[in-house]
Structure formats: C-alpha cells, structure tokens
Structure 1
Amino acid sequence: MTGKLPGAWHLLPQLLLLRELDPAAVAGASWYAMCLDFVAAKLTGNCVTEPTTAAGSLLFDIARREWSAELLNHFDVPADKLPPVVPSGSVVGELSTDAAAATGLPAGVPVVLGGQDQKCAALGAGIRSGVATASLGTSTAVTVLADAPGFDAATKIPCFPFVLDRVWEWEAPLATTGGALRWLRDVLARDTDYAEMDRLAAESPPGANGVTFHPHLAGAASPHWQPERRARFTGLTLGTSTADVIRAVMEGVAYEIRLNVDALERLSGRLDKVQVFGGGARSRVWCELIAAVLDRPVQTVQRVETAALGAAMLAAVHGFGNDLAEAQAALLPPGETLAPSRADAAAYDALLLRYLAE
C-alpha cells in the first residue's frame, strides 16, 4: 500500500514518538504537515500537500493517491489533521500580503505546489521511459518510471507516485556517493581540489591498481539495506598512489550505481541510458567511469539545480497549461552524452565480481 519499508525518517514513526513524549502538542496541532505543506501554508494560508510528499508519511495509499483510511484507523491518526491532497503542480492559492512583504514578491502571484525534491529533480533531469536518472550529490537516488505502483520484496526498492498523473517511480537510494569523495578530500587530500582529483583519477587504470573501496560511510542503503555496514578499502600496498585511492572511491560509487541500475532494470525493463545530474556530474572522468561500469551511455545534465528546474516545469505544465515536452525543450539544455569505452566496460564486468567478492 505505501510502497516502502518503514524508516525512522517517515512522518508516522515521528508522529507516534511525539505523541508519546508530548501528547498535548500532538492533540493541539492544527495540521500534521511536512515541509512542503508548511511552506504552502505560509505563502498562501492554505495547508495542502501532494502525492509525492504525502507518500513519505507511511500513511498514504500510493495506488489511490489518497490518505489510507485503513492506516489512519490502525494508528489512530485523525484524518482532519492531515492536509488535503492535490495533484503535483496545482495552483494552491495566491501569495498573501504577509508572505509578499517577507519575500519581496508582489501579493497575488499564483503559488504552484511542486513535489518532493528527488521527484522534481528526476523530472528536471529528463527522466522518461527507458531512461533512468541518477543524482550524483552527497548521496544518490537512482530513479526509473513505472506504469503501476507496487512493492518488490526481493529488492525492497521504494515505490512512489511521480509528479505526473498516473505515473509512479522506483527510487533506489545510495547513502554516500559524492559525500565519499568529499570525505576523501577533507581527510586525506586537503590541499587537492576536485579538478586535481579528476586529473589524478584519470592517471590510474580501471581497477585502481588493485585498490577497492566500498563507499558505505553511512551504512549500505539500496540494494543491500544493511545500515550497520561500514566503508572500507582493500588492496592497499606500499605502491598505492593517491591517484589509485581517488579512482577507487569513484569506482566504488559506480559499482553501487550499477547494482541498483541492474535491480531497477529487473523491475522496469531495459534502461538504455542514465541521465546524471548534481555536483558530481561536473566530473567528466567520473561520468565516463560510470558509463563504463554501467556499460551504457551516460548523459550529463548541465543544470545543477534540477529539482528547482523540475518544479518550474511542473508549474509550466500543470499550473499554466503548457506541454511537458515543450517545457523540457525550453528549460533543459541538452547535455553531453558519454558512450562507454568497450575495453573499459569489459574490464569493469570482471572488476565488479571482485568488488562483490570482497
């Protein structure tokens, strides 16, 4: 029904804990709102939500796109304290006088409700059937579209409503990706900027001269679901160079993306390309490496703030009646497509087995 396993970051367990610790606060609340709902209320005076945000509550039926009466009854959550659900991209009111004074925008401007950040980012990055998106930021979400909701017990990859009507998505989270490279720079290469790290990584061959890095600095998320797992290097020798260590970190992240793309492909069908966005997409070396590990083209998205771009597309399409393809063509500049090196792709197929065995 909810499309995902429960986690402490969802609204329901937090609400249950708060009800235990401070029952008066919970009883006296006007709304049980999440961040997007709260911002909408502050801007317009209307507390409303949309499916991709509500789906993070563990109280939402992702198939019906409505609050689940069964779950509300089971957990004794009053339905009238949850915001009404409207489609993503709906105009939910006008900017109030108070909000106008606080923001410097004119009162009366239409306010369009966006969606949860990864869903808007996937839209802004150009997700479509047969094309996955991967955010290469501090963490990563690998996302594919789905024609119907579900929950796959084998992969446990969460399913959400998408920001478009009658479309859902599978979203595989990786805990530390760009964050692993930043950790390496901060701890072991403080005088090295990212451009220099790229140059060094390019000096090391596929396989990083035997060095392997498992990037679980905050536990192993999808497809392992082992929060107790920790990061580790293997294969270090007296001959290991800084270049090898940097490349090993990039490769470890790429292997984890590959494992999730393979899992998502079993759920959604063949994926012909992956659109990569976020700060890590600025690294041509890393994106070429990812293309080789995935053995499929990677297209980089030039705009870094793709979540804001996706929200703008939603506003154009649902708020003001524009065509989605036109909005994407106008707002999303074509990025560079990096084809995998055949030799490197073959090498990485074997190196992936080494990674899994360690």
Structure 2
Amino acid sequence: MDTAAGPVPVTASVVDQQAALYGFGCRRKGQAKVTFGTGAFALMVTEDEIVNRPELGLLPTVAWQLDGHDPVYAVDGGVFTASSALNWAKSLDLFQSYDDINTFDGGPAIESGLVFVPALAGLGCPHWEPRARGVWLGLSLEQTKAQMVQSVLEGVAFRAAEVVQAMDRCIPLSDELLIDGGMSKNTYFTQFLADVTGKVIRSARMPELTGLGTILLASDCTGGDFDAVLDFHACTPRTSNDRYQQVFDAAVTISRNGVIT
C-alpha cells in the first residue's frame, strides 16, 4: 500500500481467533482462551506439537508463525450457538435487558430440573452433529421466564465445558481459562462457567482482543516493544456442578437423536 509518506509494509496477517489467543498472551502449552461471540470458539496452545485427536472432536491448527521461527500450533474447538442463543431468548421476550440477567433468585435452573441444550444450529465440538437441535427438558407450569434464561446461560457454559474437557484430555489445561466476547460480561454466566469447568475464569475487561493480538503480532514482527497490560475480572469456582453433568449429557443425547425427519 502506497501513501504520501511512502509504502507501508504489511507485517502481520492473522485470523480473528488466533489473533485473540495471541492478544491474551497465551504462549505456553496448555494455555487457552474462549471467545463467546455468536458462537463460542476455544483455542489452546500446543507449541511445536501438532495434536490430531479426532476422537476428542478437536481440530489441529496453526496458531501463528513469526518470521524466522517455526510455527506455533494449537487445537481448536467450537460451540456453534452462544450469544446467538441468548439473543434468541431475548427475541422471545424472556427478558428485556442484558443487565437484568446478571443475577437470579434461587439456585441454578438445572437444580430445579430445567436444562437447555443450545444446539440451535447443530452441535459442534466434540459431537460434530449438524442435525442436532435445541432441547429444553424439565419444563413445568412452575418454571419462570427467568429460569428459562438461566438455563440458556447454563447450557452454553456446559457446552463450553465439554470443549474444555476435551482439551484437558488432550494436553493438561492450565488452571486459568481466559475468556472474552459479549457473554464474558455476564456475571452469572462467568461464575457458572467457573463452577462447571473447575477453572479460574479470567474475563478480559478489554473488549477487543482480536485487534490487540494483531497489533502485538505486527509489533513483534518489526522488533517493536509495544506492550499492553490486560485487566481481568476473575471468577473462582465456588461449588462443583459435576452432579449435573449426567443430566446435561442425557439432554445432549436427546438433542443428537431426537431429530424429526
């Protein structure tokens, strides 16, 4: 590209999820991030190891390659429906404002027997079943709109936990899981995610990790010393939701097998 000041070199070319991984500062094997946008996409650094574990539903990928260095690899796992499930629930008038769904009265919705599988566009990692569909189980006349929204948030957290568990079986995951994206601002969701994964969840306050990662890559490739200090909101597991895993697994089975043709 030419400007009045002369040509401007292109020093970095990277796709969004890898850029976010770099922006988070994930450099060591086992460090991972999840971006909760329309879908939820997780990447974990595997350094110089190409990990191909199709039985775990994970995809090997190049994370980045700096000039003159060997490639750094990662594994990739995606949940097709995350924030889009929450937006869908809002379109059904289950809630009015995103500020209203940071806290709820009572315990988790799944504790009352209500569970939601957010397979509204099929199931991604580790199932890879595009024909699966969303499932609500446990609905009764006693259930409220708030509990239905709770179950949506919990369902996305359970699905993300499935990806995290697959990664942990592949290469031991670090004790901290870095997250960004719209849903990472929801305090109920981040706490439930911490409980269901057993990991400390560190939610980035900076809204644009993709842009930051691109800037850092461009700077590193030119020998620059650009530095960024990230601020996080941390959620520590307060209780274990392992006892609900079988309930969610059963709902996922119905989601995969209950397609009407």
TM-score range, shorter chain: 0.7 to 0.9
Out of 287, 303, 322, the position equivalent to 2:224 is: 322
User: What is the percent sequence identity of the aligned residues?
Assistant: 25
1:231 matched residue in structure 2: 134
Report the alpha carbon displacement of residue 121 of structure 1 after superposing the two structures with TM.
1.1
Out of 224, 227, 233, the position equivalent to 1:336 is: 233
Report the alpha carbon displacement of residue 300 of structure 1 after superposing the two structures with TM.
0.6
Report the structure number with the largest CA radius of gyration: 1
Residue type of the alignment partner of 2:230:
P
Residue type of the alignment partner of 2:107:
P
Out of 232, 235, 241, the position equivalent to 2:144 is: 241
Q: Secondary structure, in 3 states, of the residue corresponding to 1:314?
A: helix
2:64 matched residue in structure 1: 163
After superposition, residues 41-52 of structure 1 pair within 5 angstroms as none
1:261 matched residue in structure 2: 164
Deviation string for 1:155-188 (max 9, x for gaps)? Answer: 2311111114431000101100111111101123
Distance 2:102 2:233 in 1: 17
1:92 matched residue in structure 2: none
Distance change >3 Å, CA 140–CA 332, structure 1 → 2:
farther
Gaps of at least 5 residues in structure 1 are: 1-94, 101-105
After superposition, residues 106-185 of structure 1 pair within 5 angstroms as 107-129=6-28, 130-146=30-46, 147-164=48-65, 165-185=70-90
1:198 aligns with 2:102: yes
Do the aligned residues in 2 keep the contact of 1:204 with 1:243 (CA within 8 Å)? no
Distance 2:88 2:6 in 1: 44
Report the alpha carbon displacement of residue 241 of structure 1 after superposing the two structures with TM.
1.1
2:254 matched residue in structure 1: none
Report the alpha carbon displacement of residue 126 of structure 1 after superposing the two structures with TM.
2.8
Do the aligned residues in 2 keep the contact of 1:204 with 1:247 (CA within 8 Å)? no
Do the aligned residues in 1 keep the contact of 2:40 with 2:82 (CA within 8 Å)? yes
Do the aligned residues in 1 keep the contact of 2:199 with 2:236 (CA within 8 Å)? yes
Distance change >3 Å, CA 332–CA 183, structure 1 → 2:
farther
Distance 2:153 2:174 in 1: 22
TM-score, normalised by the number of residues in structure 1:
0.65
1:217 aligns with 2:120: yes
1:292 matched residue in structure 2: 195
Distance 1:107 1:332 in 2: 32
Distance 2:90 2:6 in 1: 46
Report the alpha carbon displacement of residue 208 of structure 1 after superposing the two structures with TM.
5.0
Report the alpha carbon displacement of residue 281 of structure 1 after superposing the two structures with TM.
1.2
TM-score, normalised by the number of residues in structure 2:
0.88
2:248 matched residue in structure 1: 355
Residue type of the alignment partner of 1:205:
G
1:251 matched residue in structure 2: 154
Q: RMSD over aligned Cα, in angstroms?
A: 1.7
Give the number of equivalent residue pairs.
244
Distance change >3 Å, CA 208–CA 138, structure 1 → 2:
farther
Do the aligned residues in 2 keep the contact of 1:126 with 1:275 (CA within 8 Å)? no
Report the alpha carbon displacement of residue 276 of structure 1 after superposing the two structures with TM.
0.7
Distance 1:128 1:290 in 2: 23
Gaps of at least 5 residues in structure 2 are: 252-261
Out of 156, 179, 194, the position equivalent to 1:276 is: 179
Deviation string for 1:220-253 (max 9, x for gaps)? Answer: 0100010000001010111101221111011111
Distance 2:93 2:151 in 1: 14
Out of 188, 212, 228, the position equivalent to 2:93 is: 188
Distance 1:357 1:336 in 2: 33
Report the alpha carbon displacement of residue 110 of structure 1 after superposing the two structures with TM.
2.9
Do the aligned residues in 1 keep the contact of 2:193 with 2:201 (CA within 8 Å)? yes
Do the aligned residues in 1 keep the contact of 2:167 with 2:173 (CA within 8 Å)? no
Residue type of the alignment partner of 2:207:
V
More strand by share: 2
Q: Which range is displaced more, 286-295 or 204-213? A: 204-213
Distance 1:282 1:229 in 2: 28
Do the aligned residues in 2 keep the contact of 1:208 with 1:247 (CA within 8 Å)? no
Do the aligned residues in 2 keep the contact of 1:145 with 1:268 (CA within 8 Å)? no
Q: Secondary structure, in 3 states, of the residue corresponding to 2:45?
A: strand
Report the alpha carbon displacement of residue 204 of structure 1 after superposing the two structures with TM.
4.0
Q: Secondary structure, in 3 states, of the residue corresponding to 2:129?
A: coil
